[in-house]
Structure formats: C-alpha cells, structure tokens
Amino acid sequence: MTVEAGTTRLGPPDAGELLTLQLAAWVREGRTAGTIEIPPLQEGLADVEAALADPAVTTWGYRGPTGRLLATVRTSMIDERTAFVGRLGVVPDLIRQGIGGAMLRLAESRLTGVSRIELVTGIHSLDNHAFYARHGYKIVSADEAEGTVRLAKNVHLIE
C-alpha cells in the first residue's frame, strides 16, 4: 500500500474536511479511553484552522479517487533532531487496510535532518501500541494522569 500519489500538504481551506475526519476517526479512541474529553474530539473548526495555518506544523492529507479525505497525519519538530508525529487518523470505514501504516511511513520519509521520532497515544489503546510497535516505536514513558504514553524510535539521520 502506498499513499504517495494521493497525498498533499493540507492548509486552512481543508479545515472543515479535516475536522470531520478527526471527529470520525477519534471516536473509537475516545471509547477506548472511556472519555470524549481528548484533544482531537474537543477541538472545533478554529482550532483545526489554526493548526493548518501554523508554519511549524506540516499536515498531510490523503485523498481517494473521488477526492474524499481518507487519512491524515501531521509532523512538527521538538528540537533540532527530534520530530513529533501526531494526529494519524484514517476514516473509520477504511481502517485495517494498510492506509494508516502507509501514512506513517510517508510522514517519516518526508522528515529531514531527524534522528529521532516521538509520538503520543492513549495508555489503554493497545491496538495503537501494537501498530506503532510494528513500525519500530517503543514506549519510553507513561503519564497516568493524562492517560497517555510516549513512544519513540531512533532513525538513520537523513540530511
């Protein structure tokens, strides 16, 4: 599975579609966490627009043949050599077909000058832990109060 052909960088005009994808994709995560009070489900249109307008954040969107927004992921830098990958989401009707993995690989491949990648997911989201483990990430810390774990992987530095 590759998403290269259908993936573009999203911007503020895509905010409505991205909000819809975000709300749909994260409901399952909210169920697992036992709360809908998680950031992807709390944000509104203005928050999504602001993230898309932030030059420090790169948001990728994958569209299917009809133009429908099917998946997203975003990246930013924590420090000079460490990237953060976040908001990896796939529309609920198309999960488990390899799109999420392909989006993660695409986001990683577009990073430059990076030797470490970190991300955060729910402490109880065991499916996500397995998914990220398969992509080489290991849990490095847990925040019981926040209900999250941080995962990281070291990567070969690409200049």
- Which listed residue (75, 128, 137, 152) binds ligand COA by CB under 6 A? 128
Burial of 15-49, coded b for 16+ CB within 10 Å and e otherwise, reads: bebbbebbbebbeebbebbeeeebebbebeeeebb
Per rule CB under 6 A, is residue 101 in the interface with ligand COA? yes
Q: CA–CA separation, 109 vs 79, rounded Å? A: 18
| Binding piece for ligand COA, criterion CB under 6 A, among 9-17, 43-51, 52-60, 83-91 | 83-91
Per rule CB under 6 A, is residue 56 in the interface with ligand COA? no
> Which of 112, 42, 53 is closest to 77 using CA atoms?
112
Q: Which residues contact 20 (CB under 8 A, 6 or more apart)?
A: 69
- Which listed residue (20, 96, 140, 158) binds ligand COA by CB under 6 A? 96
Per rule CB under 6 A, is residue 28 in the interface with ligand COA? yes
Strand 138-143 relative to strand 58-63, pairing: unpaired
CB 96 within 8 A of CB 55: no
Per rule CB under 6 A, is residue 61 in the interface with ligand COA? no
| Binding piece for ligand COA, criterion CB under 6 A, among 6-14, 52-60, 74-82, 127-135 | 127-135
Q: Which residues contact 67 (CB under 8 A, 6 or more apart)?
A: none
CB count within 10 Å of CB 52 equals 19
Which residue number, 29 or 108, has a Cβ lying nearer to ligand COA?
29
Per rule CB under 6 A, is residue 93 in the interface with ligand COA? no
Per rule CB under 6 A, is residue 89 in the interface with ligand COA? yes
- Which listed residue (38, 47, 127, 153) binds ligand COA by CB under 6 A? 127
The footprint of ligand COA (CB under 6 A) covers: 25-26, 28-29, 88-90, 95-101, 121, 125, 127-128, 130-131, 134
